[in-house]
Amino acid sequence: MKERQLKDLLYEQVARIGKALSSPKRLELLELLAQGEKTVETLTSESGGDVKLVSAHLRALREARLVEVRREGRFMVYRASGADVGALLATLRDVAESHLVELRLALEQLVDAEAQLTGISRETLLEQARRGDVLVLDVRPESEYRSAHLPFARSMPLDELEHQLDALPSDKPIVAYCRGPFCLMSEQAVGLLRARGFRAARIDDGVSEWLAHGLTVDSSTNPTH
C-alpha cells in the first residue's frame, strides 16, 4: 500500500469516531451510557426518544466500537466500551464550550450561576471531602452511583432526596453533582436543599469529567462520611 493510501486509511478510521459523534442524540446516549449499563428501554425513556430511533443510534455507536451490548433475558443491555469514551465526550464538550459562544450562552440559561460552586479546585474539593469538611452528594440514580462515583461521595438520588433530608448534616456544606454540565438533577437538588436551609452548591463535573482530568473514581458502595 502506498504512503498516501495508507494515510488516507488512517484518517478514515479516525473519522469513524467523528461520524459516530456527529449526532446530538448519539452524544446524549453516550453521556447516559458513561454512567453505567442501561437497557434500550431505559435509554429511550431517559433520552426522550423513540425506541426504533434510539436502537438505530446505538447500532451506529456500536459500529464505531464506542458501545458494547449483551443480552439479559429479553433485554439488550448497552454500556460504553471503556472509560475513555466518557472522557472523550467530556473533552469534546470542553472544546465546544471554549470555542462556541452559542454553547456558553445556552449553558448560562441552563444553570443558575448562584448555585454553582466556584473558586475551589477538584483536588481541594477531594481533600475537603476526604476530611469530612464537606459532603459530596451524588444525586443520580443509585445504579449509576454503584457503577462509579466521585471519591467519598454519598448516594442520594434526586427522587429520594426530599424524604431523606433528616439524614443530611446541617453543620457542613453540601456539594451535589450528577451526570455532567448538561444535567439538571444537581441544580434541582441544590434548589431543594437551599429551600430547606442547607448550605448547598453544585459542580459541573460528573464521573466522565473527573476521569477526563486525570482523577480517579470509586465503585465502592459504602460512603466514607
Which grid cell sits at 157? 438520588
The full length of the chain comes to 225
Question: What pLDDT, on a 0 to 100 scale, did the predictor assign at position 68?
Answer: 97
Helices 83-99 and 101-110: crossing angle in degrees, nearest 10, is 100
pLDDT of residue 223: 54
Angstrom distance (rounded) from CA 68 to CA 44? 17
Integer Rg of the chain from CA? 19
Q: How far apart are CA 153 and CA 218, in angstroms?
A: 9
- Looking at the DSSP assignment, which residues form a beta bridge with residue 38? 78
| Count of alpha carbons within 13 angstroms of residue 182, beta-carbon side | 17
Nearest-10 crossing angle of helices 40-47, 24-33: 120
187: closest CA among 123, 137, 144? 137
pLDDT at 222: 53
Which residues does residue 165 pair with via DSSP β-bridges, in sequence order?
none
178 is catalytic: yes
Burial of 136 (0-12, 13-18, 19+ CB in 10 A): buried
Residue 225: what pLDDT? 47
Q: Could you give the CA distance from residue 29 to residue 38 in angstroms, rounded to a whole number?
A: 10
Other C-beta atoms closer than 10 Å to the C-beta of 195 total 9
This prediction's pTM: 0.89
Instruction: Tell me the average confidence (pLDDT) per consecutive run of 10 residues in the chain, 225 residues long.
Output: 89 96 97 96 94 96 97 95 94 95 92 86 95 97 96 96 94 96 95 96 95 89 52
Phi then psi dihedrals of residue 79, to 5 deg: -150, 155
* pLDDT for res 158: 97
CB-based burial label for 98 (10 Å; 0-12, 13-18, 19+): exposed
CB atoms within 10 A of CB 171: 5
Return the H-helix or E-strand segment holding 73: none
Q: What integer pLDDT is reported at residue 221 of this predicted model? A: 63
Which of the following is catalytic: 33, 58, 156, 178?
A: 178
DSSP-based three-state secondary structure for 169: coil
